[in-house]
Chain A
Amino acid sequence: MTLLKVLVTHLGPVDVERNLEHLAALAPGPVLVCHGGRREDFDALSHPSRVFLEHPGLRGAAATHQSYDEALAAAWHDHLATDPALSGVLVLEFDQIPLRDDFETQLVELMDRHAIDFIGKDCVDRTNTNWWHRVRYRDDPELLAHLRELSVRDDPTTIYGCLGTGFAVRRAALEAMVAVTPPENVYNELYLPTLAHHLGFRVGSVDDLGPLYDHVRWAPPFAVEEALALQRDGVAVIHPFKTIAELDRLRLAVT
Chain B
Amino acid sequence: MLPLWVRRPLVRIAPEIRCTRCGRPLFRGWAFVSRGQVKVLGADDVLVRVDFDTTSRLGFRHVEMSHCIRERP
Partners in one complex: yes
Docked complex: A116-151 residues within 8 A CB-CB of B: 122, 124, 126, 128-131
Is B14 on the interface with A (CB-CB < 8 A)? Answer: no
Q: Which 10 A-B pairs give the minimum distances between C-beta atoms?
A: A207-B65, A129-B49, A214-B66, A122-B64, A129-B63, A207-B66, A208-B65, A128-B49, A128-B51, A210-B72
Tally A residues with Cβ within 8 Å of B: 15
Q: At the interface, is chain A mostly helix, strand, loop or mixed?
A: loop
Residues of B in contact with A (beta carbons under 8 Å apart): 43-44, 47-51, 63-66, 72-73
Expressed in whole angstroms, the Cα–Cα distance for A213 and B64 within the complex equals 11
Is A205 on the interface with B (CB-CB < 8 A)? Answer: yes
Is A211 on the interface with B (CB-CB < 8 A)? Answer: yes
Q: A135 to chain B: closest CB distance in Å?
A: 10
Docked complex: A189-248 residues within 8 A CB-CB of B: 205, 207-211, 213-214
Asked whether A126 lies within 8 Å of B63 as measured between CB atoms, the reply is yes
| Residue from the list B43, B51, B73 in contact with A130, Cβ < 8 A | B43
Docked complex: A133-180 residues within 8 A CB-CB of B: none
Asked whether B73 lies within 8 Å of A209 as measured between CB atoms, the reply is yes
Q: A55 to chain B: closest CB distance in Å?
A: 26
Expressed in whole angstroms, the Cα–Cα distance for A173 and B63 within the complex equals 24
Q: List 7 A-B contacts (CB under 8 A).
A: A122-B64, A124-B63, A129-B50, A130-B47, A208-B65, A210-B72, A213-B66
Asked whether A131 lies within 8 Å of B47 as measured between CB atoms, the reply is yes
Residues of A in contact with B (beta carbons under 8 Å apart): 122, 124, 126, 128-131, 205, 207-211, 213-214
Chain B residues within an 8 Å CB radius of A205: 65
Contact status of A210 and B51, CB under 8 A, knowing A124-B63, A126-B63: no
Chain A residues within an 8 Å CB radius of B44: 130
Expressed in whole angstroms, the Cα–Cα distance for A30 and B73 within the complex equals 31
Asked whether A211 lies within 8 Å of B64 as measured between CB atoms, the reply is no
Chain B residues within an 8 Å CB radius of A126: 49, 63
Asked whether B48 lies within 8 Å of A130 as measured between CB atoms, the reply is yes
Chain A residues within an 8 Å CB radius of B64: 122, 207
Contact status of A129 and B66, CB under 8 A, knowing A209-B72, A210-B72, A210-B73: no
Q: B54 to chain A: closest CB distance in Å?
A: 16
Asked whether B73 lies within 8 Å of A129 as measured between CB atoms, the reply is no
Q: A122-B64, A124-B63, A131-B63 are in contact. List 20 more A-B contacts (CB 8 A).
A: A122-B65, A122-B66, A126-B63, A128-B51, A129-B48, A129-B49, A129-B63, A130-B44, A130-B47, A130-B48, A207-B65, A207-B66, A207-B72, A208-B72, A209-B72, A209-B73, A210-B73, A211-B66, A211-B72, A213-B66
